[in-house]
């Protein structure tokens, strides 16, 4: 439901000035109940495959060679014994590597996917089949290139050249064995021509693979840097939470989702009380440290699907996707209580507290109206003595009554700190009890 959508269009307002182009962002509201859809999207990206898909690819490549040998056998060119030996080697190899991966022994190696031994075993099987039936040299060279290409992104350049050299040397050994056993000069000339072709083609192929590896590593590093830049652009560099640009875009996105689906949406504005006093006592560096501690405490007490970010200064926004008013109120009260009870270190002469205003979205209203109602509740919390949560209950347009469904959130095991007003009372404001 909250999967990534097309980039929303935002309008600039006095409350939400968007001077930069809105960037695509990953909706953290989807991380809990909709994580599987995000995983599916990630798995569809190039280079991102599941373990099952990786095994399926390897088995498919091996099966292609087995199928070719079986066809040769059906044409009367390959012995039954050769097919049986190949089947046994394939089955034994798959079971061996499966056992290694299941036991975790592969983690003891620097290259945990074991591409080098896998490719080495594949090339060895090709040589064994070639020794048993010389006619299979027709399929040996193409599938040798397939095996080398399979490990191209994981096997180092020196290792790939070593594999190529050992394979050519193994091929020459098999040629010598064939001549020693059969004394067939015609077969020897044919196999020597194949040996010459392989000896020339494999080094060239490995050289080109090295170029592709270099390009792959460059693109991988560039992709990592771009990803880090995108993440940094979404985060407040001081506090580590989402920044103003992201949180505003997320609020607009969630508003659109609420309009389209009819699911509830809540918003809380959180403001640190007497922050000027904190700056005066500790200085601006000390004030920044208080903000960092507060952001960490808040993020530890929000649910995984909620979106928390800094709006500006000591003011923060907390978006509650797919959440009715009562669970949102419970989370806000938990944050308020944890901040008040936190053991603040330093030269602070008093406790750090927060005033929180929370409200629920009314379908069809603008982001500005939605935000202003939550901001008004925060103002009332400060006017009412601070260190409290005030709910600004919404009123539907054209409807003098409001129905607030007190549906407890499954992830929130706390009892509600306040009782919601009767739905027959329009637009009533109330504050939660203070510690």
Q: Catalytic residue positions?
A: 314
Three-state secondary structure call for residue 310 = strand
CB-side neighbour CA atoms (13 Å) of 150: 26
Q: Are strands 315-321 and 307-312 parallel, antiparallel or unpaired?
A: antiparallel
Provide the pairing of β-strand 307-312 with 389-392: unpaired
Phi/psi at 150 (nearest 5 deg)? -60, -35
**Of 128, 207, 125, the residue nearest 160 (C-alpha):** 207
Distance of alpha carbon 360 from alpha carbon 305, whole angstroms: 16
The token pair that represents 35 in the structure block: 């994580």
The sign of the dihedral angle between the CA atoms of 373, 379, 384, 387 is positive
Q: Which two tokens stand for residue 94?
A: 């798959």
Q: In angstroms, rounded to a whole number, what is the distance separating the alpha carbons of residues 146 and 357?
A: 63
Q: Which two tokens stand for residue 103?
A: 């036991």
Q: How many residues in the chain?
A: 435
CB 176 within 8 A of CB 184: no
Give the C-alpha separation, 186 to 197, whole Å. 17
Distances (CA, A) of 336 to 113, 129, 270, 429: 48, 72, 9, 18
Q: Are 396 and 380 in contact (CB under 8 A)?
A: no
Give the chain's end-to-end CA distance (angstroms, integer).
38
Beta 265-272 vs 307-312: how paired, if at all?
Answer: unpaired
Tokens standing for residue 120: 């080495």
Coil/strand/helix, residue 93: helix
- CA of residue 339 relative to chain centroid, distance: 30
Q: Please give the Cα distance from 97 to 106 (Å, whole number).
A: 9
Q: Is 431 helix (H, G, I), strand (E, B) or coil?
A: strand
Between strands 354-360 and 389-392, the pairing is parallel
Distance of CA 241 to the CA centre of its chain: 18
């Amino acid at each position: 439901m909250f999967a990534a959508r097309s980039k929303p269009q935002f309008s600039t307002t006095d409350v939400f000035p968007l001077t930069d182009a809105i960037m695509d962002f990953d909706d953290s509201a989807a991380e809990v109940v909709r994580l599987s859809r995000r995983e599916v999207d990630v798995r569809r990206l190039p280079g991102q495959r599941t373990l099952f898909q990786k095994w399926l690819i390897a088995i498919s490549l091996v099966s292609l060679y087995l199928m070719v040998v079986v066809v040769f056998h059906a044409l009367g060119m390959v012995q039954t014994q050769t097919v049986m030996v190949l089947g046994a080697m394939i089955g034994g190899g798959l079971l061996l590597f499966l056992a290694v991966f299941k036991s975790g022994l592969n983690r003891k190696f620097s290259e945990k996917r074991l591409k080098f031994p896998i490719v080495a075993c594949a090339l060895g099987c090709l040589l064994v089949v070639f020794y048993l039936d010389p006619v299979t040299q027709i399929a040996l060279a193409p599938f040798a290139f397939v095996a080398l290409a399979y490990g191209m992104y994981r096997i180092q350049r020196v290792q790939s050249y070593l594999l190529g050299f050992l394979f050519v040397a193994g091929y020459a050994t098999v040629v010598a064995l064939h001549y020693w056993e059969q004394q067939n000069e015609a077969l020897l000339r044919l196999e020597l021509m194949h040996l010459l072709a392989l000896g020339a083609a494999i080094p060239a192929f490995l050289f080109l693979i090295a170029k592709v590896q270099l390009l792959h590593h460059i693109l991988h590093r560039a992709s990592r840097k771009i990803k880090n830049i995108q993440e940094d652009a979404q985060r407040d560099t001081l506090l580590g939470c989402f920044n103003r640009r992201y949180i505003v875009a997320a609020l607009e996105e969630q508003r659109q989702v609420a309009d389209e689906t009819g699911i509830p949406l809540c918003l809380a504005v959180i403001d640190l009380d007497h922050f000027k006093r904190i700056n005066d006592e500790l200085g601006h560096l000390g004030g920044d440290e208080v903000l960092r501690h507060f952001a960490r405490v808040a993020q530890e007490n929000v649910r995984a699907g909620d979106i928390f970010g800094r709006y500006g200064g000591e003011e923060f926004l907390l978006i509650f996707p797919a959440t009715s008013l009562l669970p949102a109120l419970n989370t806000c009260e938990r944050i308020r209580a944890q901040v008040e009870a936190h053991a603040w270190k330093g030269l602070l002469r008093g406790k750090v507290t927060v005033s929180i205003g929370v409200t629920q979205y009314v379908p069809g209203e603008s982001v500005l109206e939605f935000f202003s109602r939550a901001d008004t509740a925060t103002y009332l919390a400060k006017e009412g003595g601070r260190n409290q949560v005030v709910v600004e209950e919404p009123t539907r347009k054209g409807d003098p009554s409001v129905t607030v469904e007190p549906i407890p959130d499954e992830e929130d095991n706390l009892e509600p700190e306040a009782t919601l007003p009767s739905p027959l009372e329009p637009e009533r404001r109330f504050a939660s009890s203070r510690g």
